[in-house]
């Protein structure tokens, strides 16, 4: 039985050690979807499209196909492994405005299943 926590569909508040992981664009224009939530509620910085910012972490998803997202997901997983004091709540990055499906994006996070402090959406 898998008792691992899953990311809620909507996140409106975070604990002090939790990080909101969202899909971004390389320009860091956080105008819609989870990026807008990250900007308005969790400290995302306009103009920063990658990495930790406030209580959020941006993974670019708008620059091309799925394979262009993979290096940023790998970088995120490495970052999470180095910051075990934080819990990373991954939203369904790339599955909103960017137009990808869960089946296209979730395999990029296969290694994250073995990382205790990464919480993934249900079904990922």
Q: What is the pLDDT of residues 86-124, one digit of tens each?
A: 999 999 999 999 999 999 999 999 999 999 999 999 999
The verdict on pTM exceeding 0.85 is yes
Instruction: Report pLDDT for 1.
Output: 37
**Rounded to the nearest 5°, which phi and psi values hold at 56?**
-140, 160
- pLDDT digit string (tens) for 29-75? 999 999 999 999 999 999 999 999 999 999 999 999 999 999 999 99
- Residues 38 and 41: their CA atoms lie apart, in Å, by 5
- Residues 94 and 37: their CA atoms lie apart, in Å, by 15
**Rounded to the nearest 5°, which phi and psi values hold at 22?**
-135, 160
The residues facing 24 across adjacent strands are: 60
The tokens for 113 are 């299943």
């Amino acid at each position: 039985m898998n008792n691992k926590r899953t990311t809620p569909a909507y996140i409106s508040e975070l604990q002090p050690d939790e990080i909101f992981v969202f899909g971004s664009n390389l320009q860091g224009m956080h105008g819609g979807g989870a990026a807008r939530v990250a900007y308005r509620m969790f400290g995302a910085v306009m103009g920063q499209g990658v990495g930790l910012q406030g209580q959020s972490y941006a993974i670019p998803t708008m620059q091309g196909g799925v394979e262009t997202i993979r290096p940023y997901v790998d970088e995120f997983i490495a970052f999470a492994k180095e910051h075990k004091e934080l819990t990373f709540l991954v939203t369904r990055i790339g599955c909103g405005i960017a137009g990808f499906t869960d089946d296209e994006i979730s395999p990029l996070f296969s290694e994250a299943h073995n990382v205790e402090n990464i919480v993934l959406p249900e079904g990922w």
